Structure 1
Amino acid sequence: MTLQKKATLISSATATLLIIIKLFVGLLSGSVAVLASAIDSVLDLIVSAFNYFAIAKAEQPANQTFNYGKGKIEALAAVIEGTIICMSGLFILYTATKKLLYPEPLLHVSSSIIVMLISFVLTLALVAFLNYVAHKTRSMVVKSDALHYKTDVLSNGAILLSLLAIHATGFEMIDAIMGIIISLYIMHSAYELMKDGVYILLDASLEKELVQKIQTIILDEKEISDFHDLKTRTSANTHFVDVHLVFSPGISLLRAHYAGDKIEENIKALVPEAEWVINAHLDPYDDSEMNSLLHVKKE
């Protein structure tokens, strides 16, 4: 079993444990913040189970139907996960606003504090593990899972502080106010996650800094006089690069091929833990203007 799959299974097990203890104490105490956290943990479990499926599909090799593999299913999973997170944020906002307008007394505050403390510690440990896996595997699904649970760490910490404040002051409106703040933060995080997934689905280029480094590597090669039509994109753990390299007309094919291989190796060294698919077209002269004219003519 791959490290990514193990990470999603551990996430699912943690979410299941948190659901049980949060729902029990949340229903017992009537705390909207604890119940909101329990609902979020239910969604965590659904998302982690979906992520396991997404990773299993994304790891399948390319075939005649999917020539580039199924890596983009990770981006699709991120968009779906972001949507689910946003919906949970909206529900928490509704519940917290309702309690702010129609307050109800809290019961068993001490038990709620203990539950949220346990939840905070468990989720903090899970985030540390997921961040390690995301950095090691560069999996977008695990990265999105880590981001999701990071919001849980912050929300659990905020709920814990609010319960401590309620226990000390008796001002129970802190519970509803904290619920509203958490919901807004959750929806903001969901937006960032969905945006990253959509960018990958739409074949957005690699990060600007990485593209600039690729350009520098190409221009540093003494055999290259110029380049054009540089295009980049990413899918799961694979970076794709297409470029036309311009050589002098008299260069031998062997020298041009060697220079192209050297450029490819230097580009791959930029992010050695990622998979790279580099398609370098060797031009004996700059045909970019001719290609542009042919493109316009076809349109």
Structure 2
Amino acid sequence: MNENNIGTRTHSNSFGQDIKKPGEARTIIVILLTGITMIAEISGGLLFRSMALLADGLHMAAHVAVLSINVLAYIYTRKNAHNENFSFGTGKINTLAGYTSALLLLSVAIFMIWESIERLLSPVEVIFNQAIIISIIGLIVNGICALILGHTHNHSGEDNVHSQDSHNHDHNLASAYLHVLADAMISFLAIFALLVGKFFGIIWADPAIGIIGSIVIARWAFTLVRKSSKILVDYDTNTDLKKKIINLIGKECSINDLRVWSIGPGIYSVIISLSSKSNNSPEYYKKILSSDHRIVHTTIEIL
């Protein structure tokens, strides 16, 4: 078979990845909102010589950088959806971006734990009024961003990461949402700790709550790292889909081998080797399996 024949008979491998996803537009809005806040805080910090304001502005800059990774992944996935060099499409770029962002968040959480322990051992003077104002600004901005990215959710926190239908399996959007949700939680806890420190003189409350919040964030991030890494290495976790495939065609044939793996957010490729006494063709079984829209690529061998 020559190359021309192969080219004309090759199926499209875009698998819907050329369609602009809602998460892309939402993440861009969040970047713009975070970027405006970042510029305002850095400018204010330089103008009023406030290190606390400047530090929070730089923290916002880090968020803009991480969220930019998420947006670039969306764009690259969409622009290269028809690139035949990606054998099973560009869907896993989405997962790779989510994995990378989750690793960065995990690193930040570990750094925050270390910094909080140092503050417990060596307390420093806290300018409560200014710190409270900055934390309130951070809570408002990150709260709005979390609503933008997670308005389809009925639950928050770790449940979002564990839910199989969370973000329609969009690990890229999940990681962006996790970043702003984590920051909003830290701002909320910081306000509580600062108020306790200001009115009750409990200085150690700030670093103590910092440790607690960081541990929670680390758990969220680790959960997303674990889920996305399994997809990246083709670890088969979708037992429900396997059971459905067996129920759909298992009565008409004997399944010798069944391979199912994720090739993008909520989409799967399937390879089946089966034995059948009937004269049904592979196309017959493919048509049956096409009733499940999660299956976008099927290879069937009849022995």
TM-score (norm 2): 0.75
Structure 1, unaligned runs of 5 or more: 288-299
Change (3 A) 1:129 1:207: farther
Q: Which residue of the partner structure matches residue 243 of structure 1?
A: 272
**What is the match of residue 63 of structure 1?**
83
Task: State the match for 1:226 in structure 2.
Answer: 254
Quote the Cα distance in structure 2 between the aligned partners of 1:99 and 1:21.
Answer: 28
1:263 aligns with 2:289: yes
What is the Cα-based RMSD across aligned positions, in Å?
A: 3.0
May I ask how many residue pairs the two structures share in their alignment? 266
- Contact 1:124–1:153 (CA under 8 A) maintained in structure 2: yes
CA distance in 2, matches of 1:277, 1:197: 20
Shift, 1:137, TM fit: 6.0
SS at 2:150 equivalent: helix
Between the aligned partners of 1:188 and 1:72, the Cα distance in structure 2 is: 23
Moved more, 131-140 or 191-200: 131-140
Give aligned-pair identity as a percent: 19
1:151-199 alpha-carbon deviations (Å, 9 max, x no partner): 2232222112212222331211111111222222222222222222221
How far has the Cα of 1:91 moved from its partner? 2.2
Give the Cα–Cα distance (whole angstroms) in 2 for the partners of residues 138 and 41 of structure 1: 27
Is the 1:4–1:137 Cα contact (8 Å) retained in structure 2?
Answer: no
Of residues 88-97 and 45-54 in structure 1, the stretch that sits farther from structure 2 once superposed is 88-97
State the shift of 1:231 in Å. 1.0
Which residue pairs with 2:244 in the alignment? 213
Amino acid in structure 1 at the alignment position of 2:268: H
Q: CA deviation at 1:14?
A: 3.1
- Retained in 2: the 8 A contact 1:19–1:38? yes
CA contact (8 A) 2:234 2:262 kept: yes
- Residues 123-142 of structure 1: per-residue CA shift (max 9 Å, x gap): 23322321347967643211
Distance, in Å, in 1 between the alignment partners of 2:39 and 2:200 is 29
Whichever residue aligns with residue 122 of structure 1, its letter is: V
2:192 is matched with: 161
Equivalents in 2 of 1:240, 1:146: separation in Å? 27
How many Å apart are 1:39 and its aligned residue?
Answer: 5.9
Query: Using a 3 Å threshold, how does the CA distance of structure 1 residues 30 and 94 change in structure 2: closer, same or farther?
Result: farther
SS in 1 for 2:84: coil
Q: Does 1:89 align with 2:109?
A: yes
| SS at structure 1 position matched to 2:91 | coil
Larger Rg: 1
SS of residue matched to 1:241: strand
Q: 1:148 to 1:138 in 2, by over 3 A?
A: same
- 2:205 match: 174
- Rounded to whole Å, the distance in 1 between the matches of 2:41 and 2:214 is 17
Name the CA distance, whole Å, in 1 between partners of 2:22 and 2:65: 19
For the Cα contact (< 8 Å) 1:43–1:85, is it kept in 2?
Answer: no
Whole-Å Cα distance in 2 between the matches of residues 53 and 278 of structure 1? 26
Alpha-carbon shift at residue 261 of structure 1 (Å): 0.5
CA contact (8 A) 2:28 2:71 kept: yes
Give 2:300's aligned residue.
Answer: 281
CA deviation vs aligned residue, 1:67-118 (integer Å, no higher than 9, x gap)? 32222222222222122112212221222122212212211x2343333233
Q: Which residue of 1 aligns with 2:224?
A: 193
CA contact (8 A) 2:117 2:211 kept: yes
Which stretch of the first structure deviates more once superposed, 12-21 or 85-94?
Answer: 12-21
Give CA deviations for 1:207-260 in whole Å, capped at 9, x if unaligned.
2233323332333xx5x13223211111333321222344324x354xx74454
> Is the 1:58–1:236 Cα contact (8 Å) retained in structure 2?
no
CA distance in 2, matches of 1:54, 1:171: 44
What secondary structure does 1:232 align onto?
strand
Question: In 1, Cα distance between the equivalents of 2:21 and 2:96?
Answer: 20
Q: Is the 8 A contact 2:98 2:174 kept in 1?
A: no
Aligned position for 1:145: 176
1:16 aligns with 2:35: yes
Helix, strand or coil at the partner of 2:86 = coil
CA distance in structure 2 between the aligned counterparts of 1:137 and 1:194, rounded to whole angstroms: 17
Q: 1:73 aligns with which of 73, 93, 103?
A: 93
Question: SS at 1:68's partner residue?
Answer: coil
Contact 2:91–2:263 (8 Å) recurs in 1: yes
When normalised by structure 1's length, the TM-score is 0.76
Query: In 2, distance between residues paired with 1:263 and 1:69?
Result: 20
Which residue number corresponds to residue 117 of structure 1?
Answer: 136
